[in-house]
């Protein structure tokens, strides 16, 4: 009886421990917190979290890539390109970053071709 109870207790602890590590439901670090924030459409919060993650670890590809996506969402395309390029410097073969970077470039390039000398200064 005691053995069964102990086994049950251990089993419960193991399951609870594993669930605690689940990224989607309980963000445990800045990158994951940013992911959670972006899921809630809180992109400013996500940017804040991913910037913090980058401050702690400037070589974090996830933080750079996610920050770039958030910049795209905010319409800050130049900043997004810069972050993607930095992420690709760290990992040139990362297919996710490469795909995001290509899509971001495609959004910007046709406009550059059509209006090569566009000047945006206000009069």
Partner 1 sequence: MKRNRMLLPVLMAVLNVSACVLEPSVKVKIEIPGTPAVRLDAYREIVIADFWQEKESKDFDLNKALTEYLRDELEHQFKGKLSSQAIAWPSAEAIQDKDFWRQALANPEGRLILTGKAEFNQDVRKALLAANRRAIDDGPFAPEKAWAERKNFSLKLDIILIRPDSGEILFQKDFQETMDYENKRQPAEFAFNDLLQRVRLKLFRLLFSSEKIQERYLLSK
Q: Which residues bind partner 1 (CB under 8 A)?
A: 7, 11, 14-15, 18-19, 21-24, 31-32, 35, 38, 61-62, 65-66, 69, 72-75, 77, 96-97, 99-100, 103, 107-108, 111, 114-115, 117-123
Nearest CA to 31 among 107, 87, 98? Answer: 87
Q: How far is the CB of 36 from partner 1 (least distance, A)?
A: 10
Q: How far is the CB of 92 from partner 1 (least distance, A)?
A: 15
**With contact defined as beta carbons under 8 Å apart, do 37 and 31 qualify?**
no
* DSSP-derived 3-state class of residue 26: coil
Closest to partner 1 by CB, 55 or 75: 75
Q: How far is the CB of 35 from partner 1 (least distance, A)?
A: 6
CA-based radius of gyration for the chain: 21
Beta-carbon contacts of residue 23 (< 8 Å; ≥ 6 apart): 32, 35
């Amino acid at each position: 009886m005691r053995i069964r109870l102990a086994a049950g207790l251990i089993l419960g602890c193991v399951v609870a421990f594993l669930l605690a590590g689940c990224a989607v439901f309980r963000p445990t670090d800045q990158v994951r917190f940013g992911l959670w924030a972006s899921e809630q459409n809180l992109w400013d919060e996500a940017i804040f979290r991913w910037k913090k993650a980058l401050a702690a670890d400037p070589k974090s590809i996830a933080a750079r890539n996610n920050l770039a996506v958030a910049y795209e969402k905010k319409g800050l395309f130049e900043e997004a390109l810069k972050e993607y390029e930095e992420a690709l410097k760290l990992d040139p073969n990362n297919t996710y970053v490469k795909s995001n970077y290509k899509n971001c470039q495609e959004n910007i390039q046709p406009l550059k071709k059509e209006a090569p000398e566009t000047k945006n200064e206000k009069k």
